[in-house]
Amino acid sequence: MKDSKYIDHTLLKAFSTEEEILKICAEAVKYDFKSVCVNPTWITTAKKALADSGVLVCTVIGFPLGANTVEVKAFETAKAIEDGADEVDMVINIGRAKMHDYDYIENEVKAVVDAANGTLVKVIIETCYLTDDEKVEVCKRCVAAGADFVKTSTGFGTGGANLHDVELMYKTVTPHALVKASGGVKTKEDFEAMKKVGAMRIGTSNGTSLCGESSSENTGSDY
């Protein structure tokens, strides 16, 4: 797989404008990225801009805190897909994970998977807040619930992806699911290292520089 197809070209800052959304869509087409990842309010804009390009529209669910109810996450998922999202990246209830209420985690992921009805689901576990044992158990529950990917980070927490976490997640979910590394993947060296330990998708606002050109500005949180 060519490098550009690892990239979810990401713009999730609160003050993103339509002009900025259109800019990252144009970049995604130019570089043939896998997707653009935008907040739900921009799904229809991105879908129109990317029509017939082969670049997917990814959006986020329960983002960035993961503290919405299960019912709200399921509704948000269904609405996002109705609006044109090709993939959804949901945030787990991190507090429930810290309480070791893993049945809750499995149930909420399954609710989103069911609402997605075949649309690809990535589950953000926000590794910066979890112990290794918690990461492993949450990943197992994501697999049990039918998730397609587990993902390290929102980019809004206290830390992003690191090699240890990506490798741990990869070993836990393989061969049943894939791993997305996000938050802090900013250099080609970071990119290559993440691929080496098992990441099959990279969430970043630095996709253009990772694929050979400097981006004109930072377009995300800590993506």
Mean pLDDT of 95-114: 98
Whether residue 29 is contained in a domain is answered as yes
Whether residue 24 is contained in a domain is answered as yes
pTM score of the predicted model: 0.95
Whether residue 218 is contained in a domain is answered as no
Residues annotated catalytic, as ranges = 89, 151, 180
Mean pLDDT of 15-31: 98
Domain region containing 54: 3-210
Q: What confidence tens digit (pLDDT) does each residue in 77-90 have?
A: 999 999 999 999 99
pLDDT of 197 > 60? The answer is yes
Whether residue 164 is contained in a domain is answered as yes
Q: What is the CATH number of the domain that holds 173?
A: 3.20.20.70
**Closest of 60, 67, 113 to residue 85, by C-alpha:** 60
Give the CA diameter of the chain: 45
Whether residue 219 is contained in a domain is answered as no
pLDDT of 221 > 60? The answer is no
Number of domains present in the structure of the chain: 1
pLDDT at 220: 46
Whether residue 28 is contained in a domain is answered as yes
Whether residue 16 is contained in a domain is answered as yes
86-99: burial string, b at 16+ Cβ within 10 Å, e else: bbbbbbbbbebbee
Mean pLDDT of 177-185: 96
Q: Amino acid identity, residue 69?
A: T
